[in-house]
Every structure is written in structure tokens, then in C-alpha cells.
Amino acid sequence: MSVIGVVTEQSQESRVSATPATVKKLLELGYEVLVQKGAGAKAAFPDSAYAEAGAKVVAAASAWKADIILKVDAPTETEVKKLQAGTVLVGLLSPAFKPELLEALAKRKVTALAMDAVPRISRAQSMDVLSSMANIAGYRAVIEAAHEFGRFFTGQVTAAGKVPPAKVLVAGAGVAGLAAIGSASSLGAIVRATDPRPEVSDQVRSIGGVYLPVEVEEKMETGDGYAKATSDAYNKRAAEIYSEQAAEVDIIITTALIPGRPAPKLITAKDVALMKSGSVIVDMAAAQGGNVAGSVAGKKIVTKNGVTILGYTDLPSRLPAQSSQLYGTNLVNLLKLLTPAADGKLVIDFEDVVQRAVTVVKAGEVTWPPPPIQVSAAPQAAAPVAVVVAKKKMSALSKSMLIGLAFAAAFAVISFAPPLLQQHFLILTLAVVVGFYVIGKVHHALHTPLMSVTNAISGIVVVAAILQVTDSNSLIQILAAIGVLLASINVFGGFAVTRRMLKMFTKGESR
């Protein structure tokens, strides 16, 4: 059985790597959990709550001697020296920006797992710390902007006069951007958003925002689930839009980040100068250089023309209880993957792309960066024309042969069948052909609404089958009963699925 140590974070960090709720789940995986005294105090988790959950509350020296150390922020030089050979360190290590940290950890002969290196693939969504923290940061960015703005977000008409709604521009519609759009929209603001990926436009509109397209002849598809660097043509047109919007909006929230590279500059000093006095900018990329000219990481700056620029880098930490719970859950999900037998023994399998990606140092050897992973659904490159033509010819030949066989079988059945069966068989054949071409040509996005139509067809089948149940032939009765059963399942199941899908788009329903 391995021992997990939950240690206190640095003074400026309010989050904690495990909560009483996640401690219980760690114990279920077979681990013993040691929590440093006061580790969860800033997140409103007292030591007594950890003790009740089954953890042992210990001094710092004991917690740092654990086999597995759970942290939020990357360790300081002093903390690195506390690590013993063979220890497994898990935290937000920023491997792309802190190669010196990886070297220091390698010298200590430890194994380091970076939670911010989890690949963006479907199987790893439950471990995606960047997304869970970005969601909180986007929400908190709006709260900080509202506090500095000092006015209504929503428009109002009162006896004392009319109050116009605030206008908000969100640059980047990733997880943080969408959270900011949804929060600002729910407060009643007019929200506009930009993003290099036109496919996010529907998401922006679905949560109350207006998508501002940057129309250039360039595809922004990527293979790693993140945004890519934009072209000069895109940047030129985007800069024009930012200048236009800066002169009009009250609040700008920027979220643009490119993994492993400094944040792109979106809002220039001229754009800031165009904004009205009292306007607010929240630069969520300040930690990586910032999207806004004049922003300073961790600081609040007020320009000469009265524009407030917030470069806070601790937005998730400003909601410590919620952030700690989500971060702790991400850690639990990773440890579930690394503890397949739930016996308290951590096993790292480099054949697993998720485990390989998060392991940045293994037993004193730097293993960053991992091999690239293709995670996007971007269309593949077109095949050569000759190959495509050959495939089409083969497909046409196969179809012709199948159609010929079908006609031969139909002719044989009609030739030897009784007259009444011939009539029914002809109707069945026509129904199959018509149904195939009608339903087969419907776009996938319309399949759920189509269920309501097919339910009506199934209803007709039910009625017809019920009429045949009273037939004197036992075989016909059995087949009719089966027809009633199957068609009924289709009717009730179709309506159940349709109702569930419609609830997802009903305001106030949980998703």
C-alpha cells in the first residue's frame, strides 16, 4: 500500500489538492492518505473534516515523506529538496515553460506527473484540469469585471430613466471563453465573441452570445484539440475587428492561449486608448505574456484614459472551495487509471497515451515532450484522384451486382408465390426501397426529429399487426404478435428519446 501526502500550497495559493470528499475516494483505491495540518484551511476545509473522511492529519515533515505527493502549484526550489528518490509528484508543473524544474526533479530521481499535460481526448476528459480550471476562471473573470465596472450588466427601464445594457467582448471561445460568455449573458449583458475556429459559432449562440467571424481564406483546424497560431491575413482582419469593438464595448475579456508559446497579442495600446473611461479589460492570458498591451501578470492597472486592466493569474484560486473540489476530482480520476487493481499500488504504463503524456519525469529521466497524439476530428487529406475514381468504380460495380441479385431473388419469389403473397411482397419491396432513399438522405443532425415521423409509421405497423393477430393461422398470429412488440418498442422508445433530447434545449433544465 502506497501513502499519499496532501501538502500545503504556497502562501498565494488558496486551493488544496484534495478535499474531504476526494480523500474518501483515494482511500477506496487502497491508499493511505496523510494531510498536512492546515492544508485545506484557505479553501474552508478544516483538519477535522479530513480526519472524519479517514485521512491522518500530520505535520509537514511527515506529509512530504509520503510515496505520492499531491500538489496544485509546481514545487519551489525548497520543496523540490524535500522530495525523496522514488517519490511520485503530481501537480500543475507547466513542463513546456519550466524545463529547469524538470531537470531539478530528474536530479532528485523522482517521477513527476503533470496534470496540465493531460491530452485532450475523450477518454481523458475526466482528468482535464485545464478545462475544469478554465471553466472556473472564465466565470470568475466576469465577476471581477463586474466588480470593477460598477454598473448594471443588464439593461433596465425605470422611472428615473433608462439604463443601457453593458456590452462585453470575449476574445476566444474555448472553455474559459464559453464560461465567460455564458456568465456575462446570464447577467443580461450584450455579449460578442471572436475565435479562429468558425465551428464554435453555434456554441457561442447557444449560450446567448453573438459570434463575430473573422472571414479569411484559412482553415483553423488542429490535431491536438487546441487553437493554432493564426496567419498574417487572419491577424490583420482580427485586429480591425478588435479596434472596432474596443471603441464600442464596455468590457473585454481575453482568453487566447497557444500551448507551449507566449500568448498572442490581441488588444493593442491604440485599442485600449479607444475605450471609454470606466471600461474594464480582463487579460486571462497574463501569466503567459498577456493578450493585452499594458497588462501586468497579477496586477491591476488603470490607464491614463481610465481603463482598468486586470492581469490576475489566480482566478481559479479566488473560488478555492469549488476549484479544489474539481481539481481533486481530476486527480482521483487520474489515480483510478494508475491504480487498476484498486490495491493502493500505482502503476505507470507507457503504452497508454494518457499516462505517457502526463509523465514528464520517470525515475529521474526527463520524458517530456511525449509523442504527438492526433485527437481532433479534422478531415483527413484528400486521397489521390486515381484512387478515388477506382473506389467509385468498384462501388458502382458492387452496387450493380447486389441490385441484380435482389431482382433475381424477387423474381423467383414472385414466380412461385401465391397471388396474394406476390402483392404483399411487391409492397414490401417498394417500401424498403423508398424508406432507404428517404431516410438515408436525411442529415444525421435531423435523426432525432425524424424519430417522431417514424413513430407514426410504426403506429401503422402496430394497427396492421393487431388486425392479423386474430388470423386462424398460428404462424401468422406469432409473426403479428412479434410485429406488435417490435413496433411498440420503436414507438415508445422513440418518443422517450425525443422527449429527452428536447429537455436538453429547454431553459432551466440540467444537462
Residues serving a catalytic function are: 120, 125, 128, 131, 226
93: left (phi over 0), alpha (psi -120 to 50) or beta: alpha
d(CA 117, CA 93): 9
Distance between start and end Cα atoms, the chain: 39
For residue 37 the three cell numbers come to 495540518
**Residue tagged 417514424 (cell numbers):** 454
| CB-CB contact of 199 with 219 (8 Å) | no
User: What's the CA gap between 79 and 64, in Å, rounded?
Assistant: 9
Q: Return the C-alpha cell found at 70.
A: 499531491
Q: How far apart are CA 494 and CA 498, in angstroms?
A: 6
Residue 110 has a CB neighbour count (10 Å cut-off) of 22
CB 154 within 8 A of CB 333: no
Residues in the chain: 511
Q: For residue 95, is the peptide bond before it cis, meaning its omega torsion is within 30 degrees of 0?
A: no
Cβ-based burial of 508 (10 A; exposed 0-12, middle 13-18, buried ≥19): exposed
Contacts of 511 (CB under 8 A, 6+ apart): 504
CA–CA dist 146, 168 (Å, integer): 11
DSSP sequence for 364-429? TEE-PSPPP-----PPPPPPPHHHHHHHHHHHHHHHHHHHHHHHHHHHHHHHHS-HHHHHHHHHHH
DSSP codes joined into one string, 188-232: T-EEEEE-S-GGGHHHHHHTTEEE-----S-----SSSS--PPPH
Distances (CA, A) of 399 to 180, 394, 405: 52, 9, 10
d(CA 219, CA 54) in angstroms, rounded, equals: 52
Tally DSSP H helices, then E strands, for the chain.
16, 17
Q: Per the structure block, which three cell numbers stand in for 93? A: 508543473
What is the distance of C-alpha 348 from the center of its chain? 25
Question: Which residues are CB-neighbours of 191 under 8 A, at least 6 positions away?
Answer: 168, 169, 170, 181, 184, 185, 208, 209, 210
